[in-house]
Amino acid sequence: MRFKPSFFSRNALVVAEELLGHFLVRQTGKQRIVAKIVETEAYCGIEDKGCHTFGGRRTERTEAMFLPGGHAYIYMIYGMNFCLNVVAAAKNDPQAVLIRAVEPVEGIDFIKENRKGIVKEQDLTNGPGKLAKALMIDKNLNGCDLVRGKELYIERNLSLPDFEIVSAPRVNIDYAGEFKDKPWRKYIKGCKFVSKL
């Protein structure tokens, strides 16, 4: 079962917390990967110095963030990694939630193929660049619809267990001034698959 678009059209901070525990599904041909979202970061739009759209910057790269909530914003970082974001808020309100870590649920063999050389299961998807590689996410999926899409979408976890959410400062945004210490990183307490403790 999927979420309604209205689930994603809220503030990035809310979406970041509420995505925890739900599933990211990647379907390519016959291969299917399901992974539980265990760590996210909120990027809160034009007022957030850590956000790519700070100050209302609208460029070719950030264009997808101006879509309505529920779309994907995927960009390349350090010339070698992709990062997956879930766009939040309304159209032309450029907020997003970075998916930082997931826990493999289905299709682990396929993930291992994509992450050649990695043997430890908990190192397969515990970082934004790692999970993008594991799920074969790249620029082709930028701007795709995570509510209605087929290749990549969010699936609701109908038997969501109780867990505690930990809030922590976001990672690697030293340039963000007073925003770098905001506790806008969210993860499931005690989960072995988060990128950093």
Partner DNA sequence: TCTACGATTTACT
Partner DNA sequence: GTAAATCGTAGAA
Query: Which residue number, 1 or 197, has a Cβ lying nearer to DNA?
Result: 197
Query: Which residue number, 150 or 183, has a Cβ lying nearer to DNA?
Result: 183
Query: Which residue number, 4 or 181, has a Cβ lying nearer to DNA?
Result: 181
What is the closest distance, in whole angstroms, from the C-beta atom of residue 83 to DNA in the complex? 5
Query: Which residue number, 45 or 107, has a Cβ lying nearer to DNA?
Result: 45
Using alpha carbons only, give the angle 195, 76, 101 rounded to the nearest 5 degrees.
20
What is the closest distance, in whole angstroms, from the C-beta atom of residue 158 to DNA in the complex? 28
What is the closest distance, in whole angstroms, from the C-beta atom of residue 53 to DNA in the complex? 7
Runs of H (alpha helix) within the chain: 5-8, 12-19, 108-114, 128-134
* Interacting residue ranges for DNA, rule: CB under 7 A: 41, 43, 50-52, 57, 59-62, 65, 73, 75-81, 83, 85, 96, 98, 115, 117-118, 123, 127-131, 133, 170-173, 175, 195
With a CB cutoff of 8 Å and minimum separation 6, the contacts of 133 are 81, 82, 114, 115
Contact 182, 43 (CB under 8 A): no
